[in-house]
Structures are given as C-alpha cells and as structure tokens.
Amino acid sequence: MSVATNRVKRAFTYRFYPTDAQAAELSRTFGCVRKVYNLALAARSEAWTLRQERVNCNATSTMLTSWKQTEELACLSEVSSVPLQQTLRHLQEAFSSFFGKRAKYPRFKSKKKSRRSAEYTTSGFRHRDGRLTLGKMREPLGIVWSRALPEGATPSIVTVSQDPAGRWFVSMLCDDVPAPMPGTTNAVGIDAGITSLVTLSTGEKVTNPRHERKDRARLAKAQRNLAKKTKGSNNRAKARRKVAKVHARIADRRRDHLHKLTTRLVRENQTIVIEDLTVRNMVKNHSLARAISDAAWTTMRGMLEYKCAWYGRDLVAIDRWFPSSRLCSACGTLQGKMPPNVRTWICACGVTHDRDVNAAKNVLTEGLSVTVCGGGARPQRSYPGGQSATKQKTPRREP
C-alpha cells in the first residue's frame, strides 16, 4: 500500500568547481546583478518619493537597456542578460510582498553581506547529456553529480551561488514526482525542546546534537584570529574565510540531521502535530538564544511542511498558547505555574508525568481535536481557583 504523490517543483543542488575563467565570469555576473538590483530599487524609490509614481518591472527593464549604453555601466553588457532580467523580477516580487504587507520595504544589496548568486532561465543555459553550460561561457561547469536528476527531467531554472566559505553551488529546479511512501494511519505529536530536540507522543526522545556547541572552541579560535587581522588586508580575508568554513560545517551537519529526522517522521506517520512556536520572540531571551538558534526549530518545521505536502501527509499546528506542559494528559487537570526546571510532576489524579512526553501527548490530542471538531475535544476539569477550563479556549490556527 502506498500514498499517491503529485508532480512538484524540486531543486537539486550540486557542488561544482569552476575554472579560473568561469570563476571570474561568475564573479562579474554577481556584481552586475547586485548593481542592477540597487539601481532599479533606487529608481523606483525616487520615482515614488518625488512624483508619487509607481515604476513596474517593464519600466526597469527599459532602464536596464539605457544603462548598458552608458560608458559608466558598459560592463553590464559583458555578462549574460538573463540574470540581470531575473533580478528585476525578484525586485518586483519584493515590492509585491511589501504592498501586500507580507514583508518590509526592499533593501539595497550589500557587497559583503548579500548572497552572491545569479539565476538563469532556459534561455540562459544549455543542459545536454549531463553537461550544463551557462551563457557567455564556452565550457560546461565541472559539477559533482552526487545524485542523478529525475529521468527525463529538464531544468527550468538554474541558480549559481557562492557561499561565504568560498564553495560554489548550482541548483536546478525540475519537475519531479517524489517516490511514494508506505501508507499508514499513525499520528504523532511533537514537543520541541533543547536538551531533547524533539519528544514524541510515543515517549521517544531525540537527543539534540548541539552542533554549534561541539564546534564552539574551533569557531572561537577562528574568530580571535580574525579580530587580530588588519581591516582590508588579504590576511583578514583569509581569516574571514576560515570563520565561514566553521559556520558552514555547523550548518551542513545541522541540516543533514534535520533532513534525516523529518524524513523519518513523515515516513512513519500520516498525521504530524506540532506547536506554532514564535521562535523570533523566543530568541530574545539571551540566556537561551544560542541554544534555540542551534536547535533550528523553524528549519525543522519548514522541512516538515514541504515534505508533508510532497507525500500526502497531514501537518497540523496547534495554537502557541495551548498549555501543553501544564495539562494532565490523563485527566485534563491544568496545573499552576510550572518553571522550566521542573521536568517531572505528579498530578492530583496520581499520574507521574515526564514534562516533555506529557506535552507531546497533549499536542497530539489537541491537534486531532482541531482536525475533527475545531478543538477542545478532551477531558477537562478546572483551572486552579475554580475557573472553568472551557472558557480558556484560544483561536486555533492551522498551517
């Protein structure tokens, strides 16, 4: 028995090693992409500030043509025009998100802090016989094919990037049908934590690998060396690259662990229930900010979301204010204040609870009640002081 899956857009990322000429060409392209984005953003902002005029993507495309004809910006004609047009479309999307109140006002790209990348559509590259050649290049990229593209798949968009550690990556967006996963009726509740990365309603606890803590001494040494270098020197650039390599090692190991964990959860369960945590508010606690960031709960949720969509699983997010830790999963009694250092507690009904396991069980029960009848389908007694539990319902939000 298997679950049917739909055709999805899927990005396949590979490492590649460019020649000196290719690296120089890509570096020029990254600089031109950043320049065009900033010029277009400045033009659109000025038009609105001075004349209350909205400039669309077509108008900035016309501006790009005129910029290429100037002596100062003649370098824009030396690189492929496709990434330059794509960055104008990205700016249009940024403004659409701003006017739709989904994002802040677009910001200018920084040479040091912004991501070095360029996006090519089908007219800007050639993919034949396992070889990828970008526009303005004579030779194909030296890609390390760690896995094959889907049979018969043709990339629709190719994104080339270089991370702060100096590694080169190419990402190919293709149509794909994910391999079906075995059918199941299992449901699991997940309680995210720090000591245990996740605690499942089945009682299983997944230990937090704490990747950042393991490499903290190495990172601190690299940062001390960086602080000693003269600003603007080549030695400082080398030291900065070493710091970036340590960060990349931490991020790669964290991402690999989360991929394995989320894939296992999606494979073994039809319904997955999580809490709708506000991580950006939680990291304001400076005592826990580093540990919360290292746990990467937001990344884990994002992986669960798209993997559940791929494989036909159900992901339910319960309200962030639901008192999962203080509610007895056996009788429904809500306890009073419970400090974080309390890891086990005994309910008035006589049941001894592990705080995290009890929370995961309550998360599962609440999530199932949300999907069936909108929430509240659980045994309820009373709050301390005699206040009715049914009056404490909070709005339920589903993903």
Identify the pLDDT of residue 346: 85
Q: What is the mean pLDDT of residues 103-129?
A: 93
Whether residues 16 and 89 share a domain: the answer is yes
Whether residues 210 and 327 share a domain: the answer is no
Q: Which of 37, 10, 11, 9 is nearest to 116 (CA)?
A: 37
The pLDDT tens digits of the residues spanning 249-280 come to: 999 999 999 999 999 999 999 999 999 888 88
- Grouping H, G, I as helix, E, B as strand and the rest as coil, residue 366 is helix
Helix axes 234-268, 297-311, angle to 10 degrees: 50
Whether residues 171 and 83 share a domain: the answer is yes
Structure tokens at 324: 């999962």
| Domain assignment of residue 397, yes or no | no
| Domain assignment of residue 358, yes or no | yes
The pLDDT tens digits of the residues spanning 196-220 come to: 999 999 999 999 999 999 999 999 9
Poorest-confidence range of 189-193, 253-257, 354-358, 373-377? Answer: 373-377
- Grouping H, G, I as helix, E, B as strand and the rest as coil, residue 144 is strand
Q: Which of 193, 378, 361, 73 is nearest to 353 (CA)?
A: 361
309 within 8 A of 223, measured Cβ to Cβ: no
| Domain assignment of residue 2, yes or no | no
Identify the pLDDT of residue 345: 80
For 116, 353, 379, 382, the CA distances from 327, given in Å and listed in that order, are: 48, 10, 10, 10
193 within 8 A of 291, measured Cβ to Cβ: no
325 within 8 A of 189, measured Cβ to Cβ: no
| Domain assignment of residue 231, yes or no | yes
| Domain assignment of residue 182, yes or no | no
| 272: CB partners within 8 A, 6+ apart | 187, 188, 190, 265, 266, 304, 308, 313, 314, 315, 316
Whether residues 13 and 130 share a domain: the answer is yes
Q: Which residues pair with 206 in a beta bridge?
A: 198
- pLDDT top residue among 281 and 379: 281
H helices within the chain, ranges in order? 20-51, 57-68, 81-99, 211-214, 216-228, 234-268, 279-282, 289-295, 297-311, 355-373
Q: How far apart are CA 347 and CA 352, in angstroms?
A: 6
Structure tokens at 268: 């073994």
Whether residues 212 and 167 share a domain: the answer is no
Whether residues 140 and 217 share a domain: the answer is no
Whether residues 130 and 253 share a domain: the answer is no
| Domain assignment of residue 356, yes or no | yes
Structure tokens at 382: 């009373």
Q: Which of 238, 242, 219, 216 is nearest to 229 (CA)?
A: 238
For 45, 130, 172, 327, the CA distances from 31, given in Å and listed in that order, are: 21, 28, 22, 55
Long-range contacts of 68-77 (CB under 8 A, 24+ apart): 73/35, 75/28, 75/32, 76/32, 76/35, 76/36
Identify the pLDDT of residue 397: 38
pTM higher than the cut 0.95: no
Q: Which of 152, 160, 175 is nearest to 125 (CA)?
A: 160
**Which residues are marked as active site?**
191, 275, 356
Q: Which residues pair with 315 in a beta bridge?
A: 272
129 within 8 A of 140, measured Cβ to Cβ: no
Q: What is the mean pLDDT of residues 169-194?
A: 91
Asked which of 176, 207, 232 is the last residue of a domain, the reply is 176
Q: How far apart are CA 333 and CA 200, in angstroms?
A: 21
Identify the pLDDT of residue 388: 36
Whether residues 55 and 120 share a domain: the answer is yes
| 105: CB partners within 8 A, 6+ apart | 98
Whether residues 207 and 308 share a domain: the answer is yes
Whether residues 153 and 27 share a domain: the answer is yes
* DSSP letter string, 255-305: HHHHHHHHHHHHHH-SEEEEE---HHHHTTSTTTHHHHHHHTHHHHHHHHH
Q: How far apart are CA 192 and CA 274, in angstroms?
A: 8
- Mean pLDDT for the chain overall: 88
Asked which of 281, 313, 345 is the last residue of a domain, the reply is 313
Number of domains in the chain: 3
Residue recorded with tokens 């929430």: 375
- The answer on pLDDT for 147 being more than 60 is yes
| Domain assignment of residue 197, yes or no | yes
Whether residues 200 and 121 share a domain: the answer is no
Q: What is the mean pLDDT of residues 175-194?
A: 90
| Backbone dihedral region for residue 129 (phi beyond 0: left; psi -120 to 50: alpha; all else: beta) | left
Give 328's DSSP letter: -
Asked which of 290, 313, 336 is the last residue of a domain, the reply is 313
- pLDDT category at 372 given cuts 50, 70, 90 is low
Whether residues 99 and 67 share a domain: the answer is yes
Q: Which domain holds residue 381?
A: 317-392
| Domain assignment of residue 348, yes or no | yes
